[in-house]
Homo-oligomer: A and B are copies of this chain.
Amino acid sequence: MGDRKVISIDGMGGDDAPGIVVDGLERFAKRRPDLHFLIHGDEAKLKPLLASAPNASPRTTIRHTEKFITMDDKPAQMLRQGKGSSMWNAIEAVKTGEAVAAVSAGNTGALMALSMFILRKVEGLRRPALVASWPTRKGVCAVLDLGADIDADAEQLVEFAIMGVAYARAVNGKANPKVALLNIGSEELKGHESIREAARLIRTANLQMNFHGFVEGDDIVSGEVDVVVTDGFTGNVALKTAEGMVKMVADMLRESLKSGPFSMLGALLAMPALKKFRSRLDPRRVNGAVFLGLNGVVVKSHGGTDGVGFEQAISVAAGMGESHFRDEVAENLKRLVASADAISPAIAPSQEAAK
């Protein structure tokens, strides 16, 4: 395929696939006339959709398969039976080098399992992580891990920080991302030992990282930092809690504004302002979680998204696929290992003494 950059797409993943997938693809193709696409799925369904996608269709190749993974399929089962499915094939195209990144709105557990299995972990890295960008007061903040795993020790947290920084540079266009570890507040209860140890590691290893120290939950959206690092359990809970809160607030506002003729008229007059408000919080604007730490880029779109959201997920995949993400992570992992080798014998006794 020469110099052509190709994005590989699971045509059948997501609640409203393949309709929203091709819709998102067409929107993205219009913005980026330089990229090419592979779409995996049922040709009989994809072909007519692509026929009315004038920007995408000349640059899109359909790879037919009738097999696809549903939201109810169990990840472990899909490792054995998923071969040849649209999701599997989408990831496989990254492995073979045909595509620079894969995108799917399908089953998260299956996507993580298949990605790990097909692409394998980056050498030297202990665990992959799921990252996504959150809307903040000043733009976006990358948060990881959002649930690739449930625990994380100090070194994994440092790995997450390394990957998060490279992601913020690649996808969010931050030149020198400020990174922080998520912790809780009171002086006396400064969080798990793993978090404090991770802070020490980041400070002592020569990671060339703009490290901010600890932040609390409310700092994720304050815009003070560009990357927030936590374990997958905490990250997942924080993400879901925040999503639930924002949705409740939006619904309550809508109800309130419909509660009488004056408020309805008021809402009508304020409509442009309310729309701008909504768009700043639009979850589609930040759709696309990246599975970091594999030999290849895989992006998970929200399963219930629409064309606008799927376009954003492809955009994240393209940003990652075109970036120096892998080289940067590899460089920093080397620094981490080097510093651990150099420091640990010297540090161990003094740590022991401090206890």
In the bound complex, do residue A137 and residue B218 qualify as a contact, i.e. CB atoms below 8 Å apart?
A: no
**For the complex, what is the distance from the CA of A271 to the CA of B220, rounded to whole Å?**
30
Whether A272 sits at the interface, judged by CB under 8 Å, is: yes
**For the complex, what is the distance from the CA of A192 to the CA of B109, rounded to whole Å?**
17
In the bound complex, do residue B189 and residue A217 qualify as a contact, i.e. CB atoms below 8 Å apart?
A: no
Q: For residue A304, give the distance in angstroms from its CB to the closest CB of chain B.
A: 13
Q: How large is the interface on A (under 10, 10 to 19, 20 to 34, 35 or more residues)?
A: 35 or more
Q: A258-279, CB under 8 A of B: which get 1 and which 0?
A: 0110110111111111101100
Interface segment among A36-44, A56-64, A159-167, A227-235: the answer is A227-235
Q: Which A41-80 residues have C-beta < 8 A from chain B? A: 74-76
In the bound complex, do residue B266 and residue A240 qualify as a contact, i.e. CB atoms below 8 Å apart?
A: no
Q: How many copies of the shown chain assemble into the complex?
A: 2
In the bound complex, do residue B252 and residue A277 qualify as a contact, i.e. CB atoms below 8 Å apart?
A: yes
Specify which of B150, B220, B257, B276 is in contact with A241 (CB 8 Å cutoff).
B220
Whether A113 sits at the interface, judged by CB under 8 Å, is: yes
**For the complex, what is the distance from the CA of A230 to the CA of B233, rounded to whole Å?**
11
**For the complex, what is the distance from the CA of A286 to the CA of B279, rounded to whole Å?**
29
In the bound complex, do residue A273 and residue B256 qualify as a contact, i.e. CB atoms below 8 Å apart?
A: yes
**For the complex, what is the distance from the CA of A259 to the CA of B221, rounded to whole Å?**
22
Q: A144-168, CB under 8 A of B: which get 1 and which 0?
A: 0001011100000000000000000
Q: Which A216-256 residues have C-beta < 8 A from chain B? A: 216-222, 230, 232-234, 236-253, 255-256
Q: Which residues of A contact B (CB under 8 A)?
A: 74-76, 108-109, 113, 136-137, 147, 149-151, 182, 184-189, 191-192, 216-222, 230, 232-234, 236-253, 255-257, 259-260, 262-263, 265-274, 276-277, 280-281
